Chains A and B, each alone.
Chain A
Amino acid sequence: MSQLLLDVKNLTMRFGGLVAVNGVSLEVKDKEIVSVIGPNGAGKTTVFNCLSGFYIPTEGSVMLRGEQIAGLKDYQISRKGLVRTFQHVRLFAKMTVIENMLVAQHRHLNTGLLSGLLKTPDYKRKESEAMDRAAYWLKEVGLLEFANREAGNLSYGQQRRLEIARCMVTQPELLMLDEPAAGLNPNETKELDELIIKLRDEHEISILLIEHDMGLVMGISDRIYVIAQGTPLANGLPEEVKNHPDVIKAYLGEE
């Protein structure tokens, strides 16, 4: 059946005396949408920061395709095919949409100084390939007509989609989205929903999602992990999690 892509075991992150994440384990298989939910301040984003190398976890192992990535630098991890977005839009606002897409492909380009200065055939070919890939993904998220616009001038929903396109153009295996639906209107959320499913079904990548929009989470997730106060609370299929007594307690409080 499907292979194990990401295998996190006993992930713990301490800041001084504060335990932000305590013994979280999670698995993501190929072509799977997995969500992480939990009340505010539960440590979801800290988990993301640990996985993507922005923090070095205090304990635990993070295996990507059987390779230990805990402790690697952030840019090394993203080069291994694990790319993330952020809770707040982080675009290169004063650069154009297409430039945003080209920056993301930095490591796929010919970055040799001389070949660029002399415009060697290899350099030109790689630039043109990068442009094609950028155009392809802009078309996928419906932003092709805005290619030469400044990214900061796009509408909020468009900026969110550009962020996903910018991640996808790096050709990741696992896309981690941190609250992608935050601030979107119902229509835009529905489009996002369709886009995420399309990424899994047609582009065969896995997606790890943090989200507060329960409609979105329950609708598209293959499996869900619940975290509360840094500690894993429950996990399973959406139906199981929805009716789990501990989860209800964590979200609604007791009686």
Chain B
Amino acid sequence: MTQSKFYNAIFAAGITFILACLMIGVKLNTEGTTLTVEGATAAQWGWIIGGITVVFFSQLFSNQIDSAFGKLPKPAVSQLVPQSLKSEAMKPWLLAGVIVIMLIWPFMASRGAVDLATLTLIYIMLGLGLNIVVGLAGLLDLGFVAFYAVGAYTYALLSLYFGLSFWICLPLSAALAALFGFLLGFPVLRLRGDYLAIVTLGFGEIIRILLNNWTAVTGGPNGISGIAKPTLFGLEFTRKAKTEGAETFHAFFDISYSSSYKVIFLYLIAVVLVIFLIYLINRLIRMPIGRAWEALREDEIACRSLGLNRTAIKLSAFTIGASTAGFAGCFFAARQGFISPESFIFIESAIILAIVVLGGMGSQVGVILAAIVMTILPELAREFAEYRMLLFGLLMVVMMRWRPEGLLPMKRPQLELNKQ
């Protein structure tokens, strides 16, 4: 054991050495037309050697370190909440309190914070949608961003060519994304696991490349700009009404113009949409269809033998998940005012998937929590600039090592039996 551990440690240290030399140890400088290789300073070499030593010893004594870590108490997120708040009777009050705080908060916070919160809410919507497909139905979807793109472009194009308003396009976006989900569902019905992941990955790329190249309609890489903002019963949030005969919000209520009204209004729309989605999906999970999704994840063959039509169940999961993303996409387009295929790259799919896995598969509260963590952490880590993605990856590794079941694993609903 000790010998293999020693080789292991040497190997790990060697890898670290090679990586560190390539990334920190040498530097390329341009002098005129030639490239010169410049070695690192003595201080940097000191750091590199220090790092290698740490890797070597941590590998050599990994068993001891692991067992020491194992003795540490695991942080139980569920125990952070006092017991008195967990009782069923408190739930509606707690919920009402959270909603009230969410509605009042933006009037006190800074504009940037409200904007960030709106972005978080978009990711919550996406996370909730993917949670149906991956968390509940167990269908690994790596191209979820495609439906997000469909939703966003539906609103952008309908608004651009036909002048349709946000509120009309919202259900249309969801419906069109649902249609795409349905269409994708057909060819992948028989696929599971890795194969399904690859096909959905391809689908995500197809949509993005299509948007990129169909220049005549989508504007290609230039995207679509000047997308109309949502209105409040026809009241616009601009300084001057853009459309003929429309009134502006500040003029109607006779208050002075402030650009933060628009930000707060968008935030409030997002809050309403998220609450609506949470309610909807929460109901679905407790309905026969939600149970069927989970049953399909657990054992497809048993489902078939019990008279469940797996085709219908899979398609419904894809369709409903996709429509949620379409919803989020429509709102995203309205908030940004500008969209391009750049916004719908694979890394977006990966982030949404990370939200679902980090939150705890199937757990709605977990997904919400993870979406908050995943959008706010990168903002906080802004100073680290190029190391942001590195920190992000580190967080993932630590999370999966420490709490593989996610932040808040799904709790089974306890059902009351009417005992005879």
Of the candidates B284, B308, B420, the one whose C-beta lies within 8 Å of that of A106 is B308
Does B70 belong to the interface (CB within 8 Å)? no
Contact call B417/A131, Cβ cutoff below 8 A: yes
Residues of A within 8 A of B419 (CB): 135, 144
CA distance A117 to B280 in the complex (A): 7
Contact call B412/A116, Cβ cutoff below 8 A: no
Interface magnitude class on chain B: 20 to 34
CA distance A103 to B294 in the complex (A): 9
Supposing A90-B301, A93-B298 touch, asked if A116 and B289 sit within 8 A by C-beta, the answer is yes
Closest to B412 in A: A96
Contact call B420/A135, Cβ cutoff below 8 A: yes
Residues of B within 8 A of A132 (CB): 418, 420
Supposing A75-B307, A98-B415, A117-B283 touch, asked if A92 and B294 sit within 8 A by C-beta, the answer is yes
Does A221 belong to the interface (CB within 8 Å)? no
Closest to A147 in B: B417
Contact call A75/B308, Cβ cutoff below 8 A: yes
Of the candidates A52, A95, A128, the one whose C-beta lies within 8 Å of that of B291 is A95
Contact with B along A161-183 (1 / 0, CB 8 A): 00000110010000000000000
A38 to chain B, nearest CB (A): 22
Contact with B along A45-60 (1 / 0, CB 8 A): 0000000101000000
A76 to chain B, nearest CB (A): 8
Does A79 belong to the interface (CB within 8 Å)? yes
Pairs A–B under 8 Å by Cβ, sample size 23: A54-B301, A73-B309, A78-B307, A83-B307, A90-B305, A91-B302, A92-B294, A92-B295, A96-B413, A96-B415, A99-B412, A103-B288, A103-B291, A106-B292, A107-B307, A110-B288, A113-B289, A116-B287, A134-B417, A135-B420, A148-B414, A150-B412, A170-B307
Contact with B along A84-108 (1 / 0, CB 8 A): 1110001111111011001110110
Residues of A within 8 A of B301 (CB): 54, 86, 90
Of the candidates B280, B287, B291, B417, the one whose C-beta lies within 8 Å of that of A144 is B417
Does B18 belong to the interface (CB within 8 Å)? no
Contact call A95/B306, Cβ cutoff below 8 A: no
CA distance A79 to B307 in the complex (A): 5
Closest to A167 in B: B306
Closest to B293 in A: A103
Contact call B302/A75, Cβ cutoff below 8 A: no
Does A111 belong to the interface (CB within 8 Å)? yes
CA distance A98 to B417 in the complex (A): 9
Does A211 belong to the interface (CB within 8 Å)? no
Does B310 belong to the interface (CB within 8 Å)? yes
Contact call B304/A74, Cβ cutoff below 8 A: yes
Closest 3 CB pairs of A and B: A92-B298, A116-B287, A90-B302
Does A199 belong to the interface (CB within 8 Å)? no
B276 to chain A, nearest CB (A): 11
Number of A-B contacts (CB under 8 A): 119
Does B299 belong to the interface (CB within 8 Å)? yes
CA distance A144 to B306 in the complex (A): 21
Interface magnitude class on chain A: 35 or more
Contact call B289/A91, Cβ cutoff below 8 A: no
**Which residues A166-218 have CB closer than 8 A to chain B?**
166-167, 170
Contact call B310/A75, Cβ cutoff below 8 A: yes
Supposing A116-B288, A117-B280 touch, asked if A92 and B307 sit within 8 A by C-beta, the answer is no
Contact call A103/B306, Cβ cutoff below 8 A: yes
Does A109 belong to the interface (CB within 8 Å)? yes
Q: Considering residues B280, B292, B302, which has the most beta carbons from chain A within 10 angstroms of its beta carbon?
A: B302
Of the candidates A83, A110, A134, the one whose C-beta lies within 8 Å of that of B306 is A83
Residues of A within 8 A of B (CB): 52, 54, 73-75, 78-79, 83-86, 90-96, 98-99, 102-104, 106-107, 109-111, 113, 116-117, 128, 131-132, 134-136, 144, 147-148, 150, 166-167, 170
Supposing A95-B412, A109-B288 touch, asked if A86 and B280 sit within 8 A by C-beta, the answer is no
Of the candidates A86, A95, A113, the one whose C-beta lies within 8 Å of that of B295 is A95
A130 to chain B, nearest CB (A): 9
Contact call A84/B305, Cβ cutoff below 8 A: yes
Contact call A131/B418, Cβ cutoff below 8 A: yes
Q: Considering residues A75, A98, A170, which has the most beta carbons from chain B within 10 angstroms of its beta carbon?
A: A75
CA distance A98 to B291 in the complex (A): 11
A75 to chain B, nearest CB (A): 5
A21 to chain B, nearest CB (A): 19
CA distance A119 to B180 in the complex (A): 29
Of the candidates B288, B302, B309, the one whose C-beta lies within 8 Å of that of A102 is B288
Q: Considering residues A104, A117, A131, A136, which has the most beta carbons from chain B within 10 angstroms of its beta carbon?
A: A104
CA distance A106 to B307 in the complex (A): 8
Closest to B301 in A: A90
A177 to chain B, nearest CB (A): 12
Q: A95-B295, A103-B303, A110-B288 are in contact. List 16 more A-B contacts (CB 8 A).
A: A54-B301, A75-B306, A75-B307, A75-B308, A79-B307, A83-B306, A92-B298, A93-B299, A95-B294, A95-B298, A106-B307, A109-B288, A111-B288, A116-B287, A144-B417, A148-B415
Of the candidates B308, B310, B412, B420, the one whose C-beta lies within 8 Å of that of A148 is B412
Residues of B within 8 A of A84 (CB): 305
CA distance A48 to B288 in the complex (A): 28
Contact call B288/A106, Cβ cutoff below 8 A: yes
CA distance A103 to B302 in the complex (A): 10
Contact call A128/B418, Cβ cutoff below 8 A: yes
Residues of B within 8 A of A134 (CB): 417
Residues of A within 8 A of B303 (CB): 103
CA distance A241 to B308 in the complex (A): 38
Residues of A within 8 A of B292 (CB): 103, 106
Residues of A within 8 A of B414 (CB): 96, 148
B23 to chain A, nearest CB (A): 42
Contact call A86/B308, Cβ cutoff below 8 A: no
